[in-house]
Every structure is written in structure tokens, then in C-alpha cells.
Amino acid sequence: MSYLLSVLEGPALETIQAIPVEDKNYDEAYKRLTDQFQHTREIVYRHVERILDQPAMQQRASNALRTLITTTENSLSSIKSLGVSTKDWDPVVVRIVTRKLDQTTNFRFHQSLPDKNMPTSKVLFDFLNKEVMNLATAGETTPVQSSRSQDHQKQDRPSAFKPRSAPQATCDICRSDHPNYRCPKIIDTPEKDRKKT
């Protein structure tokens, strides 16, 4: 009972703090804690949100890929341990994870598939683990813009999967992809009126 008190803090500690510290009271303390804090539905929701809320990879890097794999696999394992079957989740998990990948890794994964059938999450994670090892062995590659980034989702996408050399500056005046000094609004404005722009 004293160990239980030593590892708890905040609301959990307050829940059992009034129970006398005796071994015979451990079951009562444990019951109070589980009654108050063990909400399977909420715990499952939190694990699903951890999978969904992972950021899209902005560049092809082994550490970002490893984090994506680990977070997803750990969340799925936790959901299974709570008695929720994830047996038929493969299409959803594969789609969520592939949307988080950078363009190059996503392209390489789909290129590696032998047919048009839906891959399992095991096939995806096996491929991604090999990619992590390859990136770590060969050294990190140059950054590749992700097609999943929030800023570029509604803008035109490149027609081929190819890395961009460097992102262009966004114009503060017209919000297009060019530096301010190349803005047509400035260039077409008479010199005397440019300071107003």
C-alpha cells in the first residue's frame, strides 16, 4: 500500500490518500483507482488519436520514420491489450500511415507491392523497418517535401514523385511562390507608388 502511494500523484493520489496505509487496504485502494480512472473507451480513443495525430513526415529521415512506426505499433498493441480486436484494421492503418509518409517513401512502398491487393499492416511495417535500416546505413538523404503537409494540400502537386531542391520563398504581397522582389504587383507598379505596396 505504501508503494502504491509513493508512485501516485495528482487526482489519483487524492483518490486513495484517506485510506489507512495498511496491506489489508490495498484491494480497496486499487478498486477505487480502477473505478475512477479505468475507462476503456477513453483509453482506446486516446491511442487511436495518437495514431491519427502524428505529424506527416516533412523529409525522408530514419528518426522520423522510426517514430511513426513505434508510435503506431505501440498504440495498436495497447488497444489490443485492452481487449479490442484490431484484426480487421489493416486497410485503415495502412492508409493512415502511408498518408504520413514523405513522397519518396510512400512511392517506394507502393512500388514494392507485388499486385493490386490491399497490403497488410505487417507488410507495411516490414517495409518501413527496412527503410529505417537502409537510411541509417546509407546516411540520411536530402530533405524531400511531403505531399501531406497542411500548407500544400490544396496547392498544385508535382506530377512525378521527385524531390524538390529547396522550397521557394512565399511572397508577402500576393502569397504566391516567389520572393517579394519578383512579385508582379511590385514590378507592374510605378516606382513612385511602390512604397505604398
Can you tell me the distance from the alpha carbon of 73 to that of 75, in angstroms, rounded to the nearest whole number? 5
Task: State the residue for C-alpha cell 482506446.
Answer: 44
> How far is C-alpha 181 from the chain's CA centre?
36
Residue 130 has pLDDT above 90, yes or no: yes
- 82-91 pLDDT, tens digit per residue, is 999 999 999 9
Q: So where are the chain's domains?
A: 2-37, 55-138, 167-197
CB-count burial class (<10 Å; 0-12, 13-18, 19+) for 3 = exposed
Banded pLDDT at 147 (limits 50, 70, 90): very low
Residue 154 has pLDDT above 50, yes or no: no
Residue 148 has pLDDT above 70, yes or no: no
Residue of 1 and 60 predicted with greater confidence: 60
96 Cβ contact list (under 8 Å, min separation 6): 51, 52, 72
Sign, CA torsion 31/33/38/39: positive
Residue 189 has pLDDT above 80, yes or no: no
Residue 168 has pLDDT above 60, yes or no: no
Can you tell me the distance from the alpha carbon of 94 to that of 123, in angstroms, rounded to the nearest whole number? 9
Residue 181 has pLDDT above 60, yes or no: yes
Least confident range from 49-58, 130-139, 182-191: namely: 182-191
Q: What pLDDT is recorded for position 99?
A: 98
Q: What is the mean pLDDT of residues 185-197?
A: 65
Residue 113 has pLDDT above 80, yes or no: yes
Q: What is the mean pLDDT of residues 3-15?
A: 83
* pTM confidence score: 0.59
Banded pLDDT at 173 (limits 50, 70, 90): confident
